[in-house]
């Protein structure tokens, strides 16, 4: 039976000098799923991966895979015994070795190594290219060889640390779908580190969002986007308008009318509204100050009561700067954040 806690990291801590880099970080990855670990540069993602591999020792917390404790009080299983594989940012292959020898590199020599290399190449559908040299591969094939090299020792968990960060955008978009498909096909349990929200949503069955060493929220991409745990997170995973509201149980009154809340709340609060959930029409609520047409949609900036809100329309521009318009909310239930209160786990001043 598949377990929801195949990889289980709990309360992980890491300090360098006096500086806390990983701070009580907890997350789980169900068997056969990919978790995208998303966070801004320097928030501690690579350090967290290194704690999972055992290359860095933890100052607290635990890591287990399939119920076996790898890191915990008095336990530190060495990296080579963890069966946790890693694909690094720089996945360069050895130019003087064939594809198969690249994949077998690091395995003990002999027939078993050869068999495992062949098996891993089969998984990434490159068995036909085993005798080729890296310079004769396309970029996508080379990347798959790097994944095969990490799969060859039959890891229980695969960690990928920003594997596409050195690539141009077009190539990256193609590869991320390919690698996401590959992980699903081989049923690998994986953690994929990225600082790119779109990449995290494409690759991750679930996403864990990290900030200053802490995991702020774990959920499906839809959960995280529609029900963000903090205003900061709402803006980090997409555009968000932070709007004053007064909550009365299941609804909140805002300048766009009554909006349903996902959890009941009372009193002054703020809600985050996505630009694509605001409908723009003829009216006299606000003034259009900017219009940008992107082809697939149009972004409007609308000034209301001394604040500016962002709006996305799925059609060509219908209004121009200087037009008076009305805005109504048409989207999912939203989360209410008490200003600086328990729902925003970071100080209000850092939150915008
Ligand atoms: P990026 O996305 O830029 O790769 P990251 O989220 O992976 O960043 P880390 O590389 O884990 O972040 O670094 C987190 C913080 O820990 C940074 O401030 C970094 O300078 C610091 N740090 C990482 N490794 C060490 C170390 N061995 N000694 C001291 N400080 C370290």
Tokens describing residue 170: 């077009």
* Lowest-confidence region among 63-77, 79-93, 291-305, 316-330: 79-93
Residue 349 has pLDDT above 70, yes or no: no
Query: 288 and 222 in one domain?
Result: no
Average pLDDT for 315-327: 95
Query: Using a 6 Å cutoff on CB, does residue 39 contact ligand 1?
Result: yes
Average pLDDT for 275-295: 96
Residue 319 lies in a domain: yes
Q: Which of 12, 18, 45 to mutate to test the pocket of ligand 1 (most atoms within 8 A of CB)?
A: 45
Query: 225 and 153 in one domain?
Result: yes
Query: 212 and 275 in one domain?
Result: no
72-123 residue pLDDT tens: 999 999 999 999 998 877 677 899 999 999 999 878 777 777 888 998 898 8
Query: 148 and 36 in one domain?
Result: yes
Number of domains in the chain: 2
Q: Which atom of ligand 1 is nearest to the CA of 89?
A: 4
Query: Using a 6 Å cutoff on CB, does residue 251 contact ligand 1?
Result: no
Query: 271 and 204 in one domain?
Result: no
Calculate how far, in angstroms, residue 21's C-alpha sits from the geometric centre of ligand 1. Answer: 7
Residue pair 207/220 in contact (Cβ under 8 Å)? The answer is yes
pLDDT over 70, % of the chain:
95
Calculate how far, in angstroms, residue 343's C-alpha sits from the geometric centre of ligand 1. Answer: 28
Question: How far apart, in whole angstroms, are the C-alpha atoms of residue 347 and residue 3?
Answer: 36
Residue 200 lies in a domain: yes
Calculate how far, in angstroms, residue 146's C-alpha sits from the geometric centre of ligand 1. Answer: 24
Contacts 24+ apart (CB under 8 A), 110-118: 113/152, 116/152, 116/153, 116/154, 117/148, 117/152
131-187 residue pLDDT tens: 999 999 988 788 889 889 988 988 999 999 988 776 778 778 888 888 888 888 888
What are the angstrom distances between the C-alpha of 175 and each of 26, 74, 137, 167, 199?
29, 40, 14, 10, 10
Tell me the backbone φ, ψ of residue 315, rounded to 5 degrees. Answer: -135, 175
275 or 182, greater pLDDT:
275
Query: Using a 6 Å cutoff on CB, does residue 21 contact ligand 1?
Result: yes
Average pLDDT for 20-28: 97
Residue 244 lies in a domain: yes
Residue 284 CB contacts under 8 Å (≥ 6 apart), including other chains = 324, 326
- List the residue whose alpha carbon is closest to atom 2 of ligand 1: 41
Query: 216 and 261 in one domain?
Result: no
Residue 135 lies in a domain: yes
Query: 244 and 198 in one domain?
Result: no
Please say which residue of 173, 205, 233 terminates a domain: 233
Look over the chain and give the mean of its residue pLDDT values, rounded to a whole number. Answer: 90
Query: 126 and 258 in one domain?
Result: no
Residue 187 lies in a domain: yes
What CATH code is carried by the domain that includes residue 258? 2.40.50.140
Residue 2 has pLDDT above 70, yes or no: yes
Query: 14 and 155 in one domain?
Result: yes
Residue 344 lies in a domain: yes
Q: What integer pLDDT is reported at residue 350 of this predicted model?
A: 37
Query: Using a 6 Å cutoff on CB, does residue 41 contact ligand 1?
Result: yes
Q: Which atom of ligand 1 is nearest to the CA of 213?
A: 14
Calculate how far, in angstroms, residue 41's C-alpha sits from the geometric centre of ligand 1. Answer: 9
Calculate how far, in angstroms, residue 155's C-alpha sits from the geometric centre of ligand 1. Answer: 25
Please say which residue of 209, 233, 257 terminates a domain: 233
Residue 341 has pLDDT above 60, yes or no: no
256-272 residue pLDDT tens: 999 999 999 999 999 99
Burial group, residue 99, by CB count within 10 angstroms (0-12, 13-18, 19+)? buried
Residue 2 lies in a domain: no
pLDDT level of residue 340 (50, 70, 90 thresholds): low
Residue pair 244/231 in contact (Cβ under 8 Å)? The answer is no
pLDDT level of residue 56 (50, 70, 90 thresholds): very high
Query: 166 and 274 in one domain?
Result: no
Largest CA distance in the chain: 77
Q: What integer pLDDT is reported at residue 174 of this predicted model?
A: 81
- The boundaries of the domain holding residue 313 are 240-350
Residue (of 64, 4, 58) closest to 29 by Cα position: 4
Residue 1 lies in a domain: no
Q: What integer pLDDT is reported at residue 87 of this predicted model?
A: 86
Please say which residue of 182, 207, 233 terminates a domain: 233
Residue 343 has pLDDT above 90, yes or no: no
Q: What integer pLDDT is reported at residue 20 of this predicted model?
A: 97
pLDDT level of residue 344 (50, 70, 90 thresholds): very low
Q: What integer pLDDT is reported at residue 133 of this predicted model?
A: 95
Query: 116 and 11 in one domain?
Result: yes
124 or 209, greater pLDDT:
209
Question: How far apart, in whole angstroms, are the C-alpha atoms of residue 180 and residue 35?
Answer: 11
Residue (of 131, 124, 118) closest to 146 by Cα position: 124
Average pLDDT for 282-311: 95
Calculate how far, in angstroms, residue 42's C-alpha sits from the geometric centre of ligand 1. Answer: 5
Calculate how far, in angstroms, residue 237's C-alpha sits from the geometric centre of ligand 1. Answer: 22
223-242 residue pLDDT tens: 999 999 999 999 999 999 99
Q: Which atom of ligand 1 is nearest to the CA of 50?
A: 11
pLDDT over 90, % of the chain:
72
Average pLDDT for 305-310: 90
Query: 68 and 134 in one domain?
Result: yes
Calculate how far, in angstroms, residue 91's C-alpha sits from the geometric centre of ligand 1. Answer: 20
pLDDT level of residue 346 (50, 70, 90 thresholds): very low
DSSP string, 162-208: STTTTS-HHHHHHHHHHHHHHHHHHT-EEEEEES-HHHHHHH-SEEE
Query: Using a 6 Å cutoff on CB, does residue 22 contact ligand 1?
Result: no
What CATH code is carried by the domain that includes residue 225? 3.40.50.300
């Amino acid at each position: 039976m598949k377990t929801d806690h195949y990889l289980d990291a709990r309360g992980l801590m890491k300090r360098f000098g006096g500086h806390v880099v990983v701070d009580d970080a907890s997350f789980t990855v169900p068997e056969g799923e990919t978790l995208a670990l998303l966070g801004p540069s320097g928030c501690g993602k690579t350090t967290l991966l290194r704690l999972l591999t055992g290359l860095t020792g933890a100052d607290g917390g635990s890591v287990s895979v399939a119920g076996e404790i790898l890191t915990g009080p008095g336990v530190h299983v060495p990296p080579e015994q963890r069966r946790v594989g890693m694909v690094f940012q720089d996945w360069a292959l050895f130019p003087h070795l064939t594809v198969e020898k690249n994949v077998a590199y690091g395995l003990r020599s002999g027939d078993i190594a050869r068999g495992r290399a062949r098996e891993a190449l089969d998984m990434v559908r490159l068995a036909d290219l085993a005798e080729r040299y890296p310079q004769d591969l396309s970029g996508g094939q080379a990347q798959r060889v790097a994944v095969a090299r990490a799969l060859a020792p039959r890891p229980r968990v695969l960690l990928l640390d920003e594997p596409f960060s050195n690539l141009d955008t077009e190539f990256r978009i193609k590869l991320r779908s390919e690698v996401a498909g590959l992980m699903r096909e081989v049923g690998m349990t994986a953690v994929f580190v990225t600082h790119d929200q779109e990449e995290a949503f494409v690759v991750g069955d679930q996403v864990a969002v990290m900030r200053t060493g802490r995991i702020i929220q774990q959920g499906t991409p839809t959960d995280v986007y529609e029900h963000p745990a903090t205003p900061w997170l709402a803006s980090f995973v997409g555009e968000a308008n932070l709007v004053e509201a007064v909550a009365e149980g299941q609804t909140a009154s805002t300048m766009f009318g009554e909006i349903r809340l996902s959890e009941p709340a009372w009193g002054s609060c703020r809600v985050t509204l996505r630009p694509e959930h605001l409908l723009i029409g003829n009216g006299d609520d606000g003034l259009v100050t900017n219009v940008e047409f992107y082809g697939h949609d149009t972004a409007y900036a609308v000034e209301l009561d001394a604040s500016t809100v962002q709006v996305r329309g799925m059609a060509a521009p219908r209004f121009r700067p200087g037009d008076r318009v009305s805005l109504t909310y048409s989207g999912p239930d939203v989360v209410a954040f008490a200003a600086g209160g328990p729902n925003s786990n970071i100080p209000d001043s850092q939150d915008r």
